[in-house]
Structure 1
Amino acid sequence: MMSSTFFIRNTRTLKSSYFPSKLLFNSYATSQPVVQNPQERFDNQLKDFETLTNINKKARKKKPQKSPFVKNLLLGVFDTDILTYPQLEKDEVHNLEKNVSSVKKLMKQNHMMNCNSLQKNFRQNLYDHKAIGLQALQIMDGMECNITESLAFLEALSEHSLAFSIVNNEQLGVQSLVKYGSDYLKKEYLVPAMKGESLTAFCISEAAVMDISNFQTKAELSQDGKLWILNGHKTWVINGVSADILIVFAITDVVKRDTFEETRLSAFVVEKDFQGVSVGSNHQTAGIEATDITFTDTPVPVENVIGEVNKAQELLPSLINEYRLSISSICCTVTRKLLNNMIKDILEKSDEKNLLHKTDAVQEKIGQVTTSLYAMESISYLTAGLIDNYENQDCEMECAIAKIFATENTMKTSLTCLDLIGTLAASETHWANILHKETLLLSILHESSDNLKIITSLLGLQYAGVTLNERIGKIRNPLFYAGFTLAKMWSDRRNVNDDPKLDLKLGEYLHPSTMSSSQNLEYCVKRLEFAVEVLLARHGPEIVNQHMELRRLAEVIIDIYGMTACLGRASRSYCIGLQHGDYEMMIANTFCNYAVARVKENVKLIYLGTYHTNDENYRVLSKRAFKFKEYFPKHPLSRNF
């Protein structure tokens, strides 16, 4: 092995505009510090003073942690506090609107910029608007945003054609350093990233690896204990070609207990110019810069570990949850673009002889998209409010729901646009075609909605199973608990007849105009509780393999959360007298009308079971197709005589 001193990187000369001199961190440089001239020193001190004097203390006291809202729905428990839709203080809203408007203006000015990556001058423009490191402390020249404010900024940033790259840099790369970076890492890497001098890339995905325990990327500590030697291959790294800073996750330890193995990860900050880092060619994907990166005996200083060694898996959930939520904000912007462009296009095609915008076919589509966009926004900001308002709130299911609902409905909106526009949308330069490609990226990169639905259901069932364990045991063994079985048959008669008792009284916490919809919401919560009990009693631990039923359960959960978000938001808007508040009530009621119909059908299929649906037929047909490794039915014109 080459001498460790060979790998020590050249020390950067950084201006200290983000850290007052008394807050400067210890330098790891091996060379003599650069002596500043008096004028430069004075300028830096002046910037330090300006930074400190411009800090506005943000007193944000969180309420005590609540039980997880969505997970409790599976037990039939509804926290009525959630119907009070979260909001910011008046002065916070004023400042936020002002700053977001400025960023949105910048995005529209640079929207047509012909580039495939976040160029340095553009990143520095973002820095001028404090649009990088949104949640960083003000003393670092950050905005010190909460999650709700961050979503508003991300919506504005998503106006740019490189929205996916911007959000990946902000929510995964920069956010890793903001939340978990040491003082040294913040000084050495976060500051340049916030200033736009460097770009980050999040390296976690590996080819054909579905679970982090199967990672092939590994790091071993050198004999002198000063370096980690990194080896492995990461795929589909967003911003990978242009990035200067790589956030890399690798296995650093495997603990074996009998037949059980526990994989432990560590996260590293790796500079692109470290030895052994090789970047592959850019994947041919419109709208983003994605590539593969290989690490071959790459030396990484021990100071470059993010958080603690062997504990990277503990910081991932927070990052991934906020990232999923940020995807919903991009989807809101894309859907809004699609809807607004579609409205303009239809109005331009309308004339006195052909009032296209007054036809039922068009009005139905516009109404559906408006309703789904309203629900997307409502779910996103309700989830953000839960995270902001309660200490260490468990919102993993809520964040997953936000991403699933947003990506699926954005795709539906995109297809609706293509359908209404017709042949013209086939052009590569047509706005509908361009936005459709953006929508595809949002839907399939990193994790698909289908897999995320299964994960969401399993998270909820795992939580509910702890409470229902004894009850489910009795249901699955009726001969041993005859009295319990008879009592349950009597108590379940209304559920079996699809007529649950509505005793949650949710209408008391909403505007009276939502009475019908609030009853529909109660009905859905009760049906969800019933469906959970049916699935656990029928399958027990094997429920993890019943993916078709897990998807149905996830769709029920998503619809209930969407109803909750829409009703809470609309009720608030109407009560405080927001413009179009009456139409918001109409949108919420419309969403609930369709959602309750979907819930009714999905729970019915769950109750009827596998052999009353096509589930078993699909399994048999699938096995046949895999056996012959192709579509097996003969051609319609075939004969055998």
Structure 2
Amino acid sequence: MLSKHVLNCRHLGRKSILKYTQAKCHLKDMKCAFSQSKTLTNTGNSAETFPDVTSTNTSDGTSELQRAFEDRAHKNKLPFNEKPFVKNLFSGVLSKEVFTFPQIGHKEDLEVLDRLIKPVEDLFKESVHSGAIDRDAEIPEKIITQLKELGLFGLEVPREYGGLDLSVTESAQFAEVTGADCSISMTLAAHHGLGLKSILLSGNEEQKAKYLPKLATGESIAAFCLSEPDCGSDISSIETTARLTEEGSSKVVLNGTKNWVVNGGIADVFIVIAKGKFKNEQNNTFEKLVALIVEKDFGGVTVSEPHDTLGTRGCNTCTVHFDNTPVPVENSLGELGEGQEFALRILECGRVGVGAAAVSLLKNLLASVVQAAISRTRFGKKLCEFDLIKERVAKITETIYAMESITYHTAGLMDTYEEPDTGLEAAILKIFSSEGVFTCVDECLHILGAEGYLRDQPYEQYLRDARMMAGFPGTNDVTRLFIALRGIQHASKDLQGFFKTLKDPFNSLTQFIKKAKPDFKTLKVEEVVLPIFKGTIKLAWSLYLTMC
């Protein structure tokens, strides 16, 4: 029974979360319904529909399936997330708008995405050999070519630039499939989630038209250059400089060294965070961080040999040197001097992929481990019959469920707003997933015993690959500091009135108590749970309020 249950969960888990994600976390529809009726109900128009499609090709070589997917009408996004969930927790505010229950998308919606994903799944089942990639420390060129042909280098790139125009949620579904091999997953994440995404989010129209078409097809590979030998995750201490060659010049000269650059040895385009010198209206010079698009062909770019890493050995991770590299001024991304905020925003985008990859790794490993637990006998019983083994499997399964939930919920929030304020959600997702996957892989090795310690078995590779997620993109310790800092900054703005009451608490006792103890009693159960559970939960909630 254990095997049947867990293996079915591996298959059906993706299907069930797919149904949830393909509803695209319709927070906009739900919010409208909430404001009108105070309950979260199905509006009847929450799922997109797709025309009937076949697998034949059109005259321009584009499959009708792909055309149907690209031609779908995207829902209008809300302009700005006025109630960021995690930030509001620092102020003692519970934003009930994010408490949504799954909606089932239309059958056609699911079928189209399934049919787009299937060739990718087939490629990984039939042609991708993770053990060989790990042993050779290289992804075969044939596999890279097939990934390009399947469109995986331009998932979220708009159609006019040659991409598939997917949402963050849909892109995360692909990331869960490619996560079957962490080297491939990390290579695609560095290209699409960090490098290409920089131009997609912050580039002007000229920059997008120039770079996105080649990046979307994989003709050009992108890399993101942030860390340095002496600064690591300390963005403010970056020493790479970008200086004008002369007053009024149209080019800057880039000098410095960037460490841990994924795709460094194969990249054609680098997104480089550097320190630039500027002058204000008073003609005073000051330094600010800038983001630059740097082509390898600009000259002065040298790359080290790929690092011999513990895990994700197929990734081309190098040190990149810039020696008087000339860069046109028009290749700066975003506003001059806002390089730090730019870098944080791009790192936020890359963290959703970590959650999807962690889910994929654990699902694949768990399936193999459960088979081993069923087939092995100890003390006259199958391993799967021991309560301790059942407990370990249950712990891994519940972690996978939590990872899926926060990954796709965060992706849904990103899809809902034009300017999503999801930096803290993405940071929490990254920490939970990267540490949870490492812990769960260790649990799996406990079940496998000595077999999990052998190099000729695939299990030890999972442990080495999982370790990478704690440091990409950004280390977990620094990410924790980021969560605390941004949360406190948000709360400090929200609690200015509260601080005034602290000076005279006895004359402001009501306001003091209200801020010190948020009123969670106003939470209505019917707004946050599935309808079938309302009766039971209402009873429990009433008892709780009575005791309070």
Q: For the Cα contact (< 8 Å) 2:347–2:473, is it kept in 1?
A: no
Counterpart amino acid of 1:154?
Answer: A
C-alpha offsets along residues 52-88 of structure 1, whole Å, 9 cap, x if unaligned? Answer: 9875142311235341122222333323332224658
Match of 1:153 in 2: 174
Match of 2:221 in 1: 199
Instruction: Tell me the TM-score normalized by structure 2.
Output: 0.77
CA distance in 2, matches of 1:176, 1:86: 31
The Cα of 1:371 is off from its aligned counterpart by 0.7
CA distance in 2, matches of 1:365, 1:509: 30
Q: For the Cα contact (< 8 Å) 2:92–2:515, is it kept in 1?
A: no
The Cα of 1:523 is off from its aligned counterpart by 13
Change (3 A) 1:400 1:263: farther
Query: Aligned to 1:253, what secondary structure does the other structure show?
Result: strand
The Cα of 1:128 is off from its aligned counterpart by 1.6
Match of 2:98 in 1: 82
Query: Aligned to 1:295, what secondary structure does the other structure show?
Result: strand
CA distance in 2, matches of 1:322, 1:302: 26
Segment of structure 1 superposing worse, 402-411 or 504-513:
504-513
Is 1:441 equivalent to 2:468 in the alignment? yes
Is 1:384 equivalent to 2:411 in the alignment? yes
CA distance in 2, matches of 1:521, 1:173: 48
Alignment counterpart, residue 435 of structure 2, candidates 408, 420, 430: 408
The Cα of 1:438 is off from its aligned counterpart by 0.8
Match of 1:216 in 2: 239
The Cα of 1:369 is off from its aligned counterpart by 0.9
Match of 1:510 in 2: 529
The Cα of 1:333 is off from its aligned counterpart by 0.8
Match of 1:111 in 2: 128
Match of 1:10 in 2: none
Counterpart amino acid of 1:174?
Answer: L
Is 1:123 equivalent to 2:147 in the alignment? no
Q: For the Cα contact (< 8 Å) 2:256–2:323, is it kept in 1?
A: yes
Alignment counterpart, residue 347 of structure 2, candidates 312, 320, 328: 320
The Cα of 1:138 is off from its aligned counterpart by 1.5
Counterpart amino acid of 2:528?
Answer: Y
**Larger Cα Rg: Structure 1 or Structure 2?**
1
Match of 2:447 in 1: 420
Counterpart amino acid of 1:248?
Answer: V
Q: For the Cα contact (< 8 Å) 1:205–1:446, is it kept in 2?
A: no
Is 1:359 equivalent to 2:377 in the alignment? no
Matches within 5 A, 1:83-98: 83-85=99-101, 89-90=105-106, 91-98=108-115
Query: Aligned to 2:342, what secondary structure does the other structure show?
Result: helix
Q: For the Cα contact (< 8 Å) 1:63–1:389, is it kept in 2?
A: yes
The Cα of 1:473 is off from its aligned counterpart by 4.2
The Cα of 1:49 is off from its aligned counterpart by 9.8
Alignment counterpart, residue 269 of structure 1, candidates 277, 283, 293: 293
Change (3 A) 1:342 1:467: same
CA distance in 2, matches of 1:490, 1:139: 55
Alignment counterpart, residue 100 of structure 1, candidates 110, 117, 141: 117
Match of 2:202 in 1: 180
Instruction: Tell me the TM-score normalized by structure 1.
Output: 0.66
Counterpart amino acid of 1:509?
Answer: V
CA distance in 2, matches of 1:320, 1:347: 41
Counterpart amino acid of 1:84?
Answer: T
Match of 1:134 in 2: 155
Counterpart amino acid of 1:145?
Answer: L
Q: For the Cα contact (< 8 Å) 2:154–2:217, is it kept in 1?
A: no
The aligned length equals: 471
Counterpart amino acid of 2:347?
Answer: I
Percentage of pairs with the same residue? 27
CA distance in 2, matches of 1:230, 1:207: 17
C-alpha offsets along residues 171-190 of structure 1, whole Å, 9 cap, x if unaligned? Answer: 11122233333455445433
Match of 1:241 in 2: 265
The Cα of 1:338 is off from its aligned counterpart by 2.2
CA RMSD for the aligned pairs? 3.5
CA distance in 2, matches of 1:398, 1:179: 19
Match of 1:588 in 2: none
Query: Aligned to 1:444, what secondary structure does the other structure show?
Result: coil
C-alpha offsets along residues 111-167 of structure 1, whole Å, 9 cap, x if unaligned? Answer: 215353455443331222111111111123311011111100111121224221221
Matches within 5 A, 1:183-582: 183-209=205-231, 210-223=233-246, 225-253=249-277, 263-285=287-309, 286-287=311-312, 288-350=315-377, 353-475=380-502, 477=503, 480-484=504-508, 502-511=521-530, 513=533
The Cα of 1:235 is off from its aligned counterpart by 0.6
The Cα of 1:362 is off from its aligned counterpart by 0.6
Q: Structure 1: 5+ residue runs without aligned partners? A: 1-45, 525-641
Q: For the Cα contact (< 8 Å) 2:277–2:285, is it kept in 1?
A: no
Query: Aligned to 2:418, what secondary structure does the other structure show?
Result: coil
The Cα of 1:522 is off from its aligned counterpart by 12
Counterpart amino acid of 1:298?
Answer: T
C-alpha offsets along residues 202-241 of structure 1, whole Å, 9 cap, x if unaligned? Answer: 1111123143222101111223623221001111111112
C-alpha offsets along residues 324-344 of structure 1, whole Å, 9 cap, x if unaligned? Answer: 111111111112122222111
Change (3 A) 1:50 1:311: farther
CA distance in 1, matches of 2:429, 2:203: 27
Change (3 A) 1:519 1:104: farther
CA distance in 2, matches of 1:348, 1:216: 56
Q: For the Cα contact (< 8 Å) 1:379–1:402, is it kept in 2?
A: yes
Q: For the Cα contact (< 8 Å) 1:171–1:322, is it kept in 2?
A: yes
